[in-house]
């Protein structure tokens, strides 16, 4: 299979519409990491992502009779734009089925490229099934986003380019969603340049490849995080998974290193800022994942003076998301730590607290008296030396105060910091995180389905420009004694993803 894929990559027709993207030096991040880093700028493609390569390669090689009938796909992201532009270039009808939850900016982008947009269903799975059924009913050709040899071959042309641009590359880092990009890149390098290590990078809330490798079979994740929406896939593609496990031409191991690097939201945000600092480009979260993976891999393995490529796979991001990303970047770069501290409720306690910090810069300070003798403080502190200083501050505060480090607490970073206001002391209160589609009426639907049975005791929602909204909600289980599972049954019927977090440390500190 490896040699067949390489042959298809060499015969790919992508350059009728795609460009050969530059492999740019990244001197700032190279100096910071003490390795030679370069960016493969797929964000410079006409649709601002690599997806155009695979889509066009697949569509352009269809027989004339199939081209005349048209093509169809389901996508709410970069693949949609790739198919739309391919259809425009070839002068054929390209139907793009998108969930009704798709942000309008993405819908309009596809329409501008000539795509015939059909909004259907509330999720990608529903839209995808509809597109496949319509393809069968109308004789259209369905264009998969990653589970197809010609799509994979189209993406693999990236590896052909970068190897010509830099023969001495040691590592290539690739963001993984469905697996089309990494399987194409790794197939070419594994056959032509087996000395190059291909490293998979996944968002830790949608790590479907890591789960599949550990189980030695494809698994479906029960839930995926949508922050890195370009790679938010619950199951690795069938063909990509087979390709990823192929052996290199020199039999030195699999073409993709089985040690998958997982990166979190804060690390991705920090990598977005790193990219901006390097070349003043703003990439989408998935487009920054490879660089986030490089930073983590270098730290874990202590590498120096290696030649590394970060494939910048896309830059389709809503401008509204930048506010949220900027807030999280400080934590991702370990330039800020956040703590929950109990201090005495008395005159001079704030001054004494600041003196304890020995002149360190306070970036955020939320104070609320909890009773007559003590107060709870949510404090952010600027860091100069990263993780080491974070622990030093914790140890310093611990000598005088009751303190907890909340720097890795997602609920604290997303919700609690905006809610510090005192304890409610509600006997049967339970706390939940709920995700709902970011569209008009979604919140109303949630409240209507919740009904009047359970009193809302806490509610926090903040738009951060993503496809999903995240709500922190406290509910009073009034019938807890008679029906302890009643509240859970109600949430199950609402059908929005949720998780109970009544034991969350920040909640106990500041709100319970």
Q: Count the residues in the chain.
A: 512
Residue 102's pLDDT is what? 74
Tens digit of pLDDT for each residue in 103-125?
677 788 899 999 999 999 876 77
The 10 Å Cβ neighbour count of residue 230 is 24
Residue 301's pLDDT is what? 96
pTM exceeding 0.75: yes
Q: Phi and psi of 141, rounded to 5°?
A: -100, 120
Residues 195, 44: Cα–Cα separation, whole Å: 28
Hey, what are 407's tokens? 């720097």
Give the chain's mean pLDDT: 88
Residue 219's pLDDT is what? 96
Percent of the chain residues past pLDDT 70, beyond the cut: 91
Q: Between β-strands 455-461 and 468-476, what pairing exists: parallel, antiparallel or unpaired? A: antiparallel
- Quick one: which of 295, 259, 256, 257 has its CA closest to 275? 295
Tens digit of pLDDT for each residue in 267-309?
999 999 999 999 999 999 999 999 999 999 999 999 999 999 9
Cα torsion 214, 215, 217, 220 to 10°: value is -100
Question: In what side-by-side order are the strands of the sheet with 374-382?
Answer: 362-369, 374-382, 336-344, 402-405
- The string of DSSP letters for 111-130 reads HHTT-EEEE-SSSHHHHHHH
Hey, what are 122's tokens? 């509330």
What SS3 class is residue 93? coil
Residue 490's pLDDT is what? 80
Q: Which of 170-174, 212-216, 365-369 has the lowest mean pLDDT?
A: 365-369
Residue ranges of domains in the chain, CATH in brackets = 2-46+153-329 (3.40.50.1100), 51-142 (3.40.50.1100), 334-408 (3.40.1020.10), 429-510 (3.30.70.260)
- Quick one: which of 294, 328, 299 has its CA closest to 311? 294
Residue 348 gets which letter from DSSP? T
- Quick one: which of 214, 235, 212 has its CA closest to 224? 235
Residue 484's pLDDT is what? 58
Give residue 227's pLDDT band: very low, low, confident or very high (50, 70, 90). Answer: confident
Residue 322's pLDDT is what? 85
Residues 235, 218: Cα–Cα separation, whole Å: 7
Using a 10 angstrom Cβ sphere, with 0-12 exposed, 13-18 middle and 19 or more buried, the burial of residue 479 is middle
Residue 481 gets which letter from DSSP? T
Alpha helices in 333-440 (DSSP H): 349-356, 387-398, 410-414
Contact between 92 and 67 (Cβ < 8 Å): yes
Residues 473, 478: Cα–Cα separation, whole Å: 15
Tens digit of pLDDT for each residue in 328-372?
786 667 778 899 998 887 777 777 888 888 878 888 887 766 666
Residues 143, 125: Cα–Cα separation, whole Å: 15
Alpha helices in 35-120 (DSSP H): 51-60, 64-69, 78-90, 104-112
Q: Is the dihedral of CA 449, 453, 454, 456 positive or negative?
A: positive
Residue 247 gets which letter from DSSP? B
Residue 233, CA distances (Å) to 125, 179, 264 in order: 11, 9, 16
- The string of DSSP letters for 162-179 reads HHHH-TT--EEEEE-SSS
Give residue 203's pLDDT band: very low, low, confident or very high (50, 70, 90). Answer: very high
Contact between 309 and 26 (Cβ < 8 Å): no
Residue 438's pLDDT is what? 62
Contact between 491 and 471 (Cβ < 8 Å): no
Tens digit of pLDDT for each residue in 20-74?
999 999 999 999 999 999 999 999 999 999 999 999 999 999 999 999 999 999 9
Interval 416-433 mean pLDDT: 77
**Vertex 269, ends 268 and 271: CA angle to 5°?**
65
Residues sharing a CB contact under 8 Å with residue 412, sequence separation 6 or more, in sequence order? 338, 340, 378, 406, 504, 505, 506
Interval 467-489 mean pLDDT: 70
The 10 Å Cβ neighbour count of residue 300 is 10
């Amino acid at each position: 299979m490896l040699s067949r894929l390489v042959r298809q990559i060499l015969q790919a027709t992508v350059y009728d519409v795609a460009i050969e993207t530059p492999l740019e030096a990244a001197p700032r991040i190279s100096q910071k990491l003490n390795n030679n880093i370069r960016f493969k700028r797929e964000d410079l493609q006409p649709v601002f992502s690599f997806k155009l390569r695979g889509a066009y390669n697949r569509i352009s090689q269809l027989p004339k009779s199939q081209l005349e009938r048209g093509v169809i796909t389901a996508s709410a992201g970069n693949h949609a734009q790739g198919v739309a532009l391919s259809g425009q270039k070839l002068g054929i009808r390209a139907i793009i089925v998108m969930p009704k939850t798709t942000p309008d900016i993405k819908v309009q982008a596809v329409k501008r490229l000539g795509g015939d947009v059909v909004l259907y269903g509330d999720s990608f799975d529903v839209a995808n099934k509809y597109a496949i059924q319509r393809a069968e009913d109308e004789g259209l050709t369905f264009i998969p986003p990653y589970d197809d040899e010609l799509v994979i071959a189209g993406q693999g042309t990236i590896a052909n380019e970068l190897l010509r641009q830099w023969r001495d590359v040691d590592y290539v880092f690739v963001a993984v969603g469905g697996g089309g990009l990494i399987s194409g890149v790794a197939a070419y390098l594994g056959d032509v340049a087996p000395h190059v290590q291909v490293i998979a990078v996944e968002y830790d809330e949608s790590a479907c490849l890591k789960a599949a490798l550990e189980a030695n079979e494809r698994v479906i994740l029960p839930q995926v995080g949508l922050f890195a929406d370009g790679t938010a896939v619950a199951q690795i593609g069938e063909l990509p998974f087979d390709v990823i496990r192929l052996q290199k031409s020199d039999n030195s191991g699999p073409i993709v290193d089985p040690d998958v690097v997982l990166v979190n939201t804060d690390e991705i945000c920090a990598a977005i800022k790193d990219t901006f600092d390097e070349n003043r480009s703003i990439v989408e979260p998935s487009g920054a994942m490879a660089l986030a993976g490089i930073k983590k891999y270098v730290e874990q393995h202590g590498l120096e003076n290696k030649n590394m490529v970060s494939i910048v796979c896309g830059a389709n991001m809503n401008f509204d998301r930048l506010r949220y990303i900027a807030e999280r970047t400080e934590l991702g770069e370990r330039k800020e730590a956040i703590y929950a501290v109990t201090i005495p409720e008395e005159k001079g306690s704030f001054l004494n607290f600041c003196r304890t910090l020995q002149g360190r810069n306070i970036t955020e300070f939320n104070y609320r008296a909890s009773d007559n003798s003590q107060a709870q403080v949510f404090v952010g502190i600027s860091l100069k030396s990263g993780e080491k200083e974070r622990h030093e501050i914790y140890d310093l505060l611990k000598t005088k105060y009751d303190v907890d480090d909340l720097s890795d607490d997602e609920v604290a970073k997303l919700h609690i910091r905006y809610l510090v206001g005192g304890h409610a002391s509600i006997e049967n209160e339970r706390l939940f995180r709920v995700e709902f589609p970011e569209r008009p009426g979604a919140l109303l639907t949630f409240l209507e389905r919740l009904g009047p049975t359970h009193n809302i005791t806490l509610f926090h929602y903040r738009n951060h420009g993503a496809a999903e909204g995240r709500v922190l909600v406290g509910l009073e289980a009034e019938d807890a004694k008679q029906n302890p599972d009643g509240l859970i049954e109600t949430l199950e019927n609402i059908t929005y993803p949720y998780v109970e977090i009544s034991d969350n440390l920040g909640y106990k500190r500041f709100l319970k």
